[in-house]
Chain A
């Protein structure tokens, strides 16, 4: 199960960040003031770790302390390094530090990328391990409860639309992967097997410059690889394939997809949206695989299953924005009222699968009320995707789906209290749509 979780994270966290790293820049990622304050309050001469540092926006906040940045994503780490920061590539679950080294640690927008409760706990415990007794850990995770948005489920995939991003960095700090010109963003999948093979080989993402690319295609091949291992993961892949394999995501095609639940031919595009992932007890999206869920291990909180909700998935426009909840999201230009989404079409209050809405509601507004989007509270209520207006190749090769487990109120604290007894919670609250906790390592620990 852990292997499947790792696979999911590889597909929908690591590979996405690797592929999208060139589009990051300082401007795009917001440094949360409260985090800055936490860092500035540390005593001079402190040793601080930013676990999941991304491009390193917090690493130079306080010049009186020594801050090390760590991230799983090598391209992001390279960007941080190019800014003169001390960084390394490592895994939150296996931190390469000795016990009790750091006076303070920050984990900003990281833990929510772990796909099982056990892994989230493990990540927190690793950070606690390397903290000195009396040292403090600050954790920020995306909140399920948002002011302007509603996540229907806690486990979601959030697309990122490169089309809304400023041009990628062209300077040093770019991993020289031979990515093409900006017009051809790296894609998370191209010819499935190529892409997948490329990825397996190394940590480096196999960024293939394609105009029309299917994130799902890669999932599909990954799924096949992982099929023997874990039913749910293969379900993940196959469901995606069915979503993303059609050539055009116009309404009728999508309807067919949903109703017939059959892989369609290749699609160049798919709409941006938040796909909820939920326990798949009865998949209406059964692609002919009876074991749509990993049965025995299923545990609502802990597993990630791909199962679109009973009805059709809700396609939402949920691009990430500059004002992301988590600073380490790629910054994407947020358009008011949906401006130039996906290369040119404007947003109408319309949604791709308007006719496929569970209750069969009329297009647009009704759907939006119950639709969730993965955006910060200070973003606009979602602009719908006028998919029928979009050209197939204008759509999405640019979207990369990132996995999040959004936290309910009290969940993070509960996790610490229940499973990480070496940490004592000092304060907790909500900051810009994130649940935050500051915890201290207890003095007397074994």
Chain B
């Protein structure tokens, strides 16, 4: 699970026991277009939990053309992968596992029958 995915979830990363860095081809246009969609608070929280460094704190002026910025964002959004870890729902506290890179977000029968 990549931080970009995490950014879309309603649950947040609570911990990770296995994280991998994968090189991914850099596509500046793609990253530039992702920037407006990023929830920065979540991203920073995830970065913190995953002990990522060099994570921009916010979009900078003219980011679309700032290769250094875009490369950093590319790295944090797409090249980090949580292989084993846990996600947590901020409301219920419910934990969800990430295993072999796959988050499993299924609720039990009891939980869905609310």
Chain A residues in the interface with B (C-beta under 8 A): 2-3, 6, 43-47, 63-64, 66, 68, 72, 74, 77-78, 81, 86-91, 93-94, 96-98, 101-102, 203
Contact = CB atoms under 8 A, between A and B. Distances in A.
Interface of B: 1-2, 4-5, 8-11, 27, 29-30, 32-34, 37, 39, 96, 100-107, 109, 112-113
20 contacts: A2-B113, A3-B113, A6-B109, A47-B34, A64-B29, A66-B30, A66-B34, A68-B8, A78-B100, A78-B102, A81-B100, A86-B1, A87-B102, A90-B103, A90-B105, A91-B106, A96-B10, A96-B96, A98-B9, A101-B8
Given A3-B113, A81-B101, A97-B10, A72 B106 contact: yes
Given A3-B109, A97-B10, A101-B8, A89 B104 contact: yes
Contacts of B109: 3, 6
Chain A contact surface mostly: mixed
Contact of A94 (B9, B39, B112): B112
Nearest to B2: A86
Nearest to B89: A96
Most buried by B among A63, A90, A96: A96
Given A81-B100, A88-B105, A97-B10, A45 B30 contact: yes
Contacts, number: 82
Given A86-B2, A88-B1, A89-B106, 5 more contacts: A45-B29, A89-B105, A91-B107, A94-B112, A97-B10
Contact of B33 (A45, A77, A96, A101): A45
Contacts of A64: 27, 29-30
Given A3-B113, A44-B30, A88 B8 contact: no
Top 3 closest A-B pairs, CB basis?
A45-B33, A90-B105, A96-B105
A47 B33 CA distance: 10
Most buried by B among A46, A77, A88, A102: A88
B65 to A, nearest CB: 15
Contacts of A94: 105, 107, 112
Given A6-B109, A66-B4, A77 B102 contact: yes
A107 B65 CA distance: 35
Nearest to B37: A47
A371 B36 CA distance: 54
A97 B112 contact: no
Contacts of A88: 1, 5, 102-105
Nearest to B32: A45
Contacts of A97: 8-10
Contacts of B30: 44-45, 64, 66
B63 to A, nearest CB: 13
A3 B96 CA distance: 23
A108 to B, nearest CB: 20
A66 to B, nearest CB: 6
Contacts of B1: 86, 88
A203 B106 contact: yes
A48 B10 CA distance: 16
B77 to A, nearest CB: 9
Contacts of A68: 5, 8
Contacts of A78: 100, 102
Contact of A90 (B4, B39, B101, B106): B106
Contacts of B107: 91, 94
A43 B37 CA distance: 14
A420 B101 CA distance: 34
A367 B11 CA distance: 54
A45 B73 CA distance: 14
